[in-house]
Amino acid sequence: MPKRLLIIYTGGTIGMKQTAHGLAPAPDLAAEITQLIEMGPSFQKNPPVLHTLSYEPLIDSSDMTPAVWLKIATDIEQRYDNYDGFVVLHGTDTLAYTSSALCYFIRRQGKPVVLTGAQLPFGFPRSDARSNLISAIEVAATMPAAMAQVCVVFGSKIMRGNRVTKVSANAYDAFDSPRCAPLGSIGIDIHFQGARRTVHEQSDPLPTLALPPDNAVVLLRLYPGISAQLLRAVCADTVTRAVVLEAYGSGNAPSRCPDFLNEVKSVVERGIVVLVVSQPLDGVVSFGRYAAGSSLAGAGAISGRDLTTEAAVTKLYYLLACGCASSEIANKLRHHVSA
Ligand code: ASP
């Protein structure tokens, strides 16, 4: 039986055309996909049956919003039983946010959901669009069942959806997942590297998702000189429910700045979740390693361990969309639920 795959086209460089104002999304990718599949030597043996769903409007992914994450997840969940896998075509700028979001927002598990995009549009000489699309389709059609999960296929790598980050605006290997071993590699052959998928907690019945306001989650990066006032100002909005704090190294923050730590404490006491991630690409939060990290823990902040910024932000949106109270969110984060 040929595999049945649904390709969801959301926009992004992969299908863009040159306009007077620069590259902009173009609607005619479905025809190119059909042509590509008909010509594609890779699929001569057992070609999958492909259907496409093109979004309206198609967007540059810099216009992505949490509402569109939910739409993609809902579109996939509603068609889950009709397909063996899904491919999502997406702009590279915020692809890592969407792939992270889909890891949490798609509550059905066991089928591959593969995100890809391109550094250059289809029609351009030396474009990576064709190879990335063909690789994504092949991965969606052949990923071992025990590994089937949300992942990103780009250039030569297959990466876990909620550990991937964009590392280059120029290279064809635009993404990496330095905090998590790749799920596989793409060369002449496609190799899967055996990491089983993380099985996410499922409550029964699944809660209806209701997105919080877009600014319910805020992101703040530490830098030398950061002030308590800045944190206070960032959390002053009454809709703010959670802060992702990008700290140094293993989760360190200024420890000789009692004002800043007191402000973290006061924010936490007001019921705002403070989730700490690490700034370096391969950083993992380990509060106990330095006294400067222990101080954040002492103020009530939660370790995001190996979560990327993208995963931390989207996981918080998901938990808020489930209707979780702050204490419940803190509890789930502390116990690594749905990592
Ligand atoms: N601005 C584009 C987007 O994210 C960049 C890309 O796709 O590579 O949609």
Query: Is residue 205 in some structural domain?
Result: no
Residues 75 and 150 in one domain: yes
Residues 245 and 180 in one domain: no
Taking only the tens place, the pLDDT of each residue in 155-192 is: 999 999 999 999 999 999 999 999 999 999 999 999 99
Taking only the tens place, the pLDDT of each residue in 5-42 is: 999 999 999 999 999 999 998 887 877 777 766 665 55
Residues 31 and 124 in one domain: yes
Query: Is residue 188 in some structural domain?
Result: yes
| Spatial contact of 139 and 184, defined as CB atoms under 8 Å apart | yes
Atom of ligand 1 nearest to the CA of 62: 4
Instruction: Please work out whether the CB of residue 12 comes within 6 Å of at least one atom of ligand 1.
Output: yes
CA dihedral 221, 226, 229, 232 (to 10 degrees): 20
Residues 144 and 266 in one domain: no
CATH number of the domain that 67 lies in? 3.40.50.1170
Residues 184 and 232 in one domain: no
3-state secondary structure 170-238: CCCCCEECCCCCCCEEECCCEEECCCCCCCCCCCCCCCCCCCCCHHHEEEEECCCCCCHHHHHHHCCCC
> Strand, coil or helix: what is 10?
strand
Residues 45 and 182 in one domain: yes
Q: Could you tell me the pLDDT band of residue 200, with boundaries at 50, 70 and 90?
A: low
Q: What is the pLDDT of residue 36?
A: 67
Alpha carbon of 202 to ligand 1 centroid (Å): 33
| Spatial contact of 214 and 66, defined as CB atoms under 8 Å apart | yes
User: Residue 147: phi, psi to the nearest 5?
Assistant: -100, -15
Q: Could you tell me the pLDDT band of residue 47, with boundaries at 50, 70 and 90?
A: confident
Taking only the tens place, the pLDDT of each residue in 128-140 is: 999 999 999 999 9
Phi-psi region at 306: left, alpha or beta (left = phi > 0; alpha = psi -120 to 50): alpha
Q: Name the residue with the closest Cα to ligand 1, atom 8.
A: 92
Residues 117 and 68 in one domain: yes
Query: Is residue 207 in some structural domain?
Result: no
Alpha carbon of 172 to ligand 1 centroid (Å): 13
Instruction: Please work out whether the CB of residue 93 comes within 6 Å of at least one atom of ligand 1.
Output: yes
Instruction: Please work out whether the CB of residue 92 comes within 6 Å of at least one atom of ligand 1.
Output: yes
| Mean pLDDT (the chain, rounded) | 92
Q: What is the pLDDT of residue 205?
A: 72
Query: Is residue 332 in some structural domain?
Result: yes
- pTM to 2 decimals? 0.95
Over pLDDT 70: what percentage of the chain? 94
Alpha carbon of 119 to ligand 1 centroid (Å): 8
| Spatial contact of 152 and 159, defined as CB atoms under 8 Å apart | yes
Residues 37 and 114 in one domain: yes
pLDDT exceeds 90 at position 213: yes
Taking only the tens place, the pLDDT of each residue in 220-236 is: 999 999 999 999 999 99
Instruction: Please work out whether the CB of residue 10 comes within 6 Å of at least one atom of ligand 1.
Output: no
Q: What is the pLDDT of residue 88?
A: 98
- Give the separation between CA 238 and CA 215, rounded to whole angstroms: 10
- Give the separation between CA 321 and CA 329, rounded to whole angstroms: 11
Residue 31 belongs to what domain range? 4-192
Atom of ligand 1 nearest to the CA of 11: 9
Q: What is the pLDDT of residue 37?
A: 66
Residues 188 and 218 in one domain: no
Catalytic residue list: 13
Query: Where is the domain boundary, 192, 226, 243?
Result: 192
CATH number of the domain that 295 lies in? 3.40.50.40
- Give the separation between CA 275 and CA 250, rounded to whole angstroms: 13
Taking only the tens place, the pLDDT of each residue in 274-330 is: 999 999 999 999 998 888 778 999 999 999 999 999 999 999 999 999 999 999 999
Query: Is residue 133 in some structural domain?
Result: yes
The total of structural domains in the chain comes to 2
Query: 205 preceded by cis ω (within 30°)?
Result: yes
Residues 180 and 302 in one domain: no
Residues 149 and 293 in one domain: no
Query: Is residue 282 in some structural domain?
Result: yes
Residues 329 and 293 in one domain: yes
Q: What does the angle CA 6 – CA 10 – CA 12 come to, to the nearest 5 degrees?
A: 125
Query: Is residue 199 in some structural domain?
Result: no
Alpha carbon of 12 to ligand 1 centroid (Å): 5
> Strand, coil or helix: what is 3?
coil
Query: Is residue 204 in some structural domain?
Result: no
Instruction: Please work out whether the CB of residue 208 comes within 6 Å of at least one atom of ligand 1.
Output: no
